[in-house]
Protein backbone atom coordinates (compact mmCIF):
# COMPACT_ATOMS: atom_id res chain seq x y z
CA UNK A 1 0.00 0.00 0.00
CA UNK A 2 2.80 2.41 0.92
CA UNK A 3 4.59 1.52 -2.30
CA UNK A 4 1.41 2.20 -4.26
CA UNK A 5 0.97 5.59 -2.57
CA UNK A 6 4.62 6.42 -3.32
CA UNK A 7 4.16 5.42 -6.97
CA UNK A 8 1.04 7.62 -7.25
CA UNK A 9 2.79 10.58 -5.65
CA UNK A 10 5.79 10.13 -7.95
CA UNK A 11 3.53 9.99 -10.99
CA UNK A 12 1.71 13.14 -9.85
CA UNK A 13 5.01 14.93 -9.26
CA UNK A 14 6.22 14.01 -12.73
CA UNK A 15 2.95 15.22 -14.25
CA UNK A 16 3.19 18.52 -12.35
CA UNK A 17 6.81 18.97 -13.46
CA UNK A 18 5.89 18.22 -17.06
CA UNK A 19 3.01 20.72 -16.89
CA UNK A 20 5.31 23.38 -15.43
CA UNK A 21 7.88 22.75 -18.16
CA UNK A 22 5.20 23.05 -20.85
CA UNK A 23 3.98 26.32 -19.32
CA UNK A 24 7.53 27.72 -19.23
CA UNK A 25 8.14 26.59 -22.79
CA UNK A 26 4.95 28.34 -23.91
CA UNK A 27 6.04 31.58 -22.24
CA UNK A 28 9.55 31.23 -23.66
CA UNK A 29 8.36 30.65 -27.22
CA UNK A 30 5.54 33.23 -27.31
CA UNK A 31 6.91 36.09 -25.23
CA UNK A 32 7.06 39.54 -26.82
CA UNK A 33 10.33 40.30 -25.04
CA UNK A 34 13.56 38.57 -25.95
CA UNK A 35 14.65 35.90 -23.47
CA UNK A 36 18.18 34.53 -23.19
CA UNK A 37 20.58 32.43 -21.19
CA UNK A 38 24.27 33.15 -21.68
CA UNK A 39 27.59 32.02 -20.26
CA UNK A 40 29.98 34.42 -18.50
CA UNK A 41 32.49 33.99 -21.35
CA UNK A 42 30.02 35.31 -23.92
CA UNK A 43 28.10 32.45 -25.52
CA UNK A 44 24.35 32.07 -25.72
CA UNK A 45 22.98 28.85 -24.29
CA UNK A 46 19.41 29.52 -25.39
CA UNK A 47 17.42 32.34 -26.99
CA UNK A 48 13.72 32.61 -27.78
CA UNK A 49 12.10 33.58 -31.12
CA UNK A 50 11.48 37.15 -29.95
CA UNK A 51 15.17 37.77 -29.30
CA UNK A 52 15.94 36.24 -32.69
CA UNK A 53 13.61 38.74 -34.36
CA UNK A 54 14.99 41.69 -32.36
CA UNK A 55 18.55 40.83 -33.40
CA UNK A 56 17.54 40.16 -37.02
CA UNK A 57 18.34 36.46 -37.29
CA UNK A 58 16.22 33.80 -38.99
CA UNK A 59 16.23 31.27 -36.15
CA UNK A 60 17.44 30.80 -32.56
CA UNK A 61 19.97 28.24 -33.79
CA UNK A 62 21.48 30.73 -36.25
CA UNK A 63 21.80 33.38 -33.55
CA UNK A 64 23.44 30.98 -31.09
CA UNK A 65 25.87 29.65 -33.72
CA UNK A 66 26.76 33.11 -35.05
CA UNK A 67 27.22 34.92 -31.73
CA UNK A 68 30.45 33.34 -30.50
CA UNK A 69 31.51 36.39 -28.46
CA UNK A 70 28.66 38.57 -27.21
CA UNK A 71 30.93 41.40 -26.13
CA UNK A 72 32.65 41.76 -29.50
CA UNK A 73 29.78 40.76 -31.80
CA UNK A 74 26.73 42.35 -30.19
CA UNK A 75 27.48 45.63 -28.46
CA UNK A 76 28.45 48.75 -30.40
CA UNK A 77 30.62 49.61 -27.41
CA UNK A 78 32.38 46.34 -26.41
CA UNK A 79 32.90 47.75 -22.92
CA UNK A 80 29.18 47.33 -22.29
CA UNK A 81 29.64 43.57 -21.89
CA UNK A 82 32.36 44.17 -19.31
CA UNK A 83 30.05 46.56 -17.49
CA UNK A 84 27.23 44.00 -17.67
CA UNK A 85 29.46 41.38 -16.02
CA UNK A 86 30.79 43.86 -13.44
CA UNK A 87 27.26 44.71 -12.31
CA UNK A 88 26.33 41.03 -12.23
CA UNK A 89 29.32 40.22 -10.05
CA UNK A 90 28.49 43.13 -7.76
CA UNK A 91 24.71 42.79 -7.41
CA UNK A 92 23.73 39.53 -9.08
CA UNK A 93 21.05 41.39 -11.03
CA UNK A 94 20.73 44.31 -13.44
CA UNK A 95 17.71 46.37 -14.46
CA UNK A 96 17.18 48.74 -17.39
CA UNK A 97 20.67 48.17 -18.77
CA UNK A 98 20.52 50.24 -21.97
CA UNK A 99 22.95 49.74 -24.85
CA UNK A 100 23.29 50.14 -28.58
CA UNK A 101 23.74 46.82 -30.36
CA UNK A 102 24.35 45.52 -33.87
CA UNK A 103 21.69 43.46 -35.58
CA UNK A 104 22.72 40.76 -38.05
CA UNK A 105 22.67 43.28 -40.95
CA UNK A 106 24.91 45.62 -38.85
CA UNK A 107 22.15 48.17 -38.39
CA UNK A 108 22.17 49.67 -34.90
CA UNK A 109 19.28 49.60 -32.42
CA UNK A 110 18.81 50.37 -28.73
CA UNK A 111 17.97 47.61 -26.24
CA UNK A 112 17.20 47.46 -22.53
CA UNK A 113 18.20 44.36 -20.56
CA UNK A 114 16.97 42.99 -17.24
CA UNK A 115 18.95 39.98 -16.09
CA UNK A 116 20.13 37.92 -13.13
CA UNK A 117 22.94 35.53 -12.31
CA UNK A 118 21.89 31.89 -11.83
CA UNK A 119 23.96 29.84 -9.38
CA UNK A 120 23.91 26.28 -8.08
CA UNK A 121 23.37 25.34 -4.43
CA UNK A 122 27.09 25.79 -3.74
CA UNK A 123 26.98 29.31 -5.14
CA UNK A 124 28.85 28.55 -8.34
CA UNK A 125 27.80 30.74 -11.26
CA UNK A 126 26.05 28.71 -13.93
CA UNK A 127 24.83 31.31 -16.41
CA UNK A 128 23.06 34.63 -16.86
CA UNK A 129 19.41 34.79 -17.86
CA UNK A 130 17.28 37.76 -18.72
CA UNK A 131 14.90 39.76 -20.86
CA UNK A 132 15.66 42.08 -23.76
CA UNK A 133 13.40 44.87 -25.04
CA UNK A 134 13.89 46.89 -28.24
CA UNK A 135 13.66 50.54 -27.07
CA UNK A 136 14.83 52.18 -30.31
CA UNK A 137 11.55 54.06 -30.90
CA UNK A 138 11.59 55.41 -27.36
CA UNK A 139 15.20 56.58 -27.64
CA UNK A 140 14.50 58.28 -30.98
CA UNK A 141 11.48 60.04 -29.47
CA UNK A 142 13.58 61.17 -26.51
CA UNK A 143 16.22 62.57 -28.85
CA UNK A 144 13.61 64.45 -30.90
CA UNK A 145 12.13 65.94 -27.73
CA UNK A 146 15.59 66.89 -26.46
CA UNK A 147 16.39 68.62 -29.74
CA UNK A 148 13.05 70.44 -29.71
CA UNK A 149 13.66 71.59 -26.14
CA UNK A 150 17.11 72.87 -27.10
CA UNK A 151 15.66 74.83 -30.02
CA UNK A 152 12.88 76.26 -27.84
CA UNK A 153 15.39 77.22 -25.15
CA UNK A 154 17.56 78.99 -27.72
CA UNK A 155 14.60 80.96 -29.08
CA UNK A 156 13.41 81.72 -25.55
CA UNK A 157 16.76 82.99 -24.36
CA UNK A 158 17.75 84.98 -27.46
CA UNK A 159 14.43 86.48 -28.60
CA UNK A 160 14.26 90.26 -28.79
CA UNK A 161 10.55 90.17 -27.92
CA UNK A 162 9.34 89.64 -24.38
CA UNK A 163 7.97 86.15 -23.78
CA UNK A 164 6.14 84.80 -20.75
CA UNK A 165 4.34 81.69 -19.57
CA UNK A 166 1.35 82.04 -17.25
CA UNK A 167 -1.12 79.62 -15.70
CA UNK A 168 -4.91 79.93 -16.25
CA UNK A 169 -5.14 82.25 -13.22
CA UNK A 170 -2.65 84.70 -14.65
CA UNK A 171 0.25 83.76 -12.39
CA UNK A 172 3.58 84.16 -14.15
CA UNK A 173 5.45 80.84 -14.41
CA UNK A 174 8.44 81.93 -16.49
CA UNK A 175 9.75 84.94 -18.39
CA UNK A 176 12.60 85.32 -20.86
CA UNK A 177 15.48 87.82 -20.57
CA UNK A 178 13.86 90.21 -23.07
CA UNK A 179 10.70 90.41 -20.97
CA UNK A 180 12.77 91.33 -17.92
CA UNK A 181 14.52 94.09 -19.85
CA UNK A 182 11.23 95.50 -21.16
CA UNK A 183 9.54 95.73 -17.75
CA UNK A 184 12.75 96.65 -15.91
CA UNK A 185 12.48 93.87 -13.35
CA UNK A 186 14.51 90.78 -12.46
CA UNK A 187 13.26 87.27 -13.15
CA UNK A 188 12.98 86.42 -9.44
CA UNK A 189 10.79 89.50 -8.91
CA UNK A 190 8.34 88.41 -11.58
CA UNK A 191 7.95 84.63 -11.50
CA UNK A 192 5.21 83.35 -9.21
CA UNK A 193 3.50 86.75 -9.13
CA UNK A 194 0.25 87.87 -10.79
CA UNK A 195 0.60 89.14 -14.34
CA UNK A 196 -0.33 92.66 -13.17
CA UNK A 197 2.92 92.91 -11.16
CA UNK A 198 4.72 94.01 -14.31
CA UNK A 199 2.64 97.22 -14.62
CA UNK A 200 2.74 100.41 -12.65
CA UNK A 201 -0.48 101.83 -11.26
CA UNK A 202 -0.38 104.67 -13.78
CA UNK A 203 -0.36 102.38 -16.79
CA UNK A 204 -3.46 101.11 -18.44
CA UNK A 205 -3.46 97.30 -18.11
CA UNK A 206 -5.41 96.62 -21.28
CA UNK A 207 -3.02 98.74 -23.34
CA UNK A 208 0.03 97.00 -21.90
CA UNK A 209 -1.43 93.57 -22.49
CA UNK A 210 -1.86 94.43 -26.15
CA UNK A 211 1.79 95.38 -26.27
CA UNK A 212 2.90 91.94 -25.12
CA UNK A 213 0.57 89.83 -27.30
Q: What is the pLDDT of residues 171-208, one digit of tens each?
A: 888 888 888 888 888 888 888 877 665 555 444 444 54
Neighbours of 132 (CB within 10 A): 23
* Confidence at residue 145, expressed as pLDDT on a 0 to 100 scale: 77
Task: Write down the pLDDT at residue 106.
Answer: 92
**Residue 18: band (very low, low, confident or very high) from pLDDT cuts 50, 70, 90:** low
Q: What is the mean pLDDT of residues 86-107?
A: 93
Which pLDDT band, with edges at 50, 70 and 90, does 164 fall under? confident
Query: Which of the four pLDDT bands, split at 50, 70 and 90, describes residue 88?
Result: very high
Q: How many beta carbons lie within 10 A of that of residue 80, not counting itself? A: 19
For the cut 70, the answer to whether the pLDDT of residue 19 exceeds it is no
| Tens of pLDDT, residues 24-53 | 666 768 788 999 999 999 999 999 999 999
User: What local confidence, expressed as pLDDT, does residue 14 receive?
Assistant: 57
SS3 102: strand
Dist CA 145 CA 162 (whole Å): 24
Q: Which residues contact 71 (CB under 8 A, 6 or more apart)?
A: 42, 78, 80, 81, 82
Give the model's pLDDT for residue 213: 47
Higher pLDDT, 41 or 9: 41
Task: Give the pLDDT of residue 24.
Answer: 60
DSSP assignment, residue 48?
-
pLDDT for 183: 83
What pLDDT score was predicted for residue 58?
93
Question: Which of these ranges, 66-75, 76-85, 104-113, 145-154, has the smallest mean pLDDT?
Answer: 145-154
Separation CA 49–CA 34 (nearest Å): 7
Residue 115 · residue 35 · CB < 8 Å: no
Q: Where are the beta strands (DSSP E) in the chain?
A: 34-38, 44-47, 93-102, 108-119, 125-134, 164-166, 172-175
Q: Is the pTM of this model over 0.85?
A: no
pLDDT band at residue 10 using 50, 70 and 90 as cut-offs: low
* Residue 202: per-residue pLDDT: 42
Amino acid sequence: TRAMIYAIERTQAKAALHKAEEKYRGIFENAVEGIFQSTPDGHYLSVNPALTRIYGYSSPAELIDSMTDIGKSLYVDPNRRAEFIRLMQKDGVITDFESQIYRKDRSVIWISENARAVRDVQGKLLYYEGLVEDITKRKVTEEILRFSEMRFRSVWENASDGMRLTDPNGTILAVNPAFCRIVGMEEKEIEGKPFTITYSEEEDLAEMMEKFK
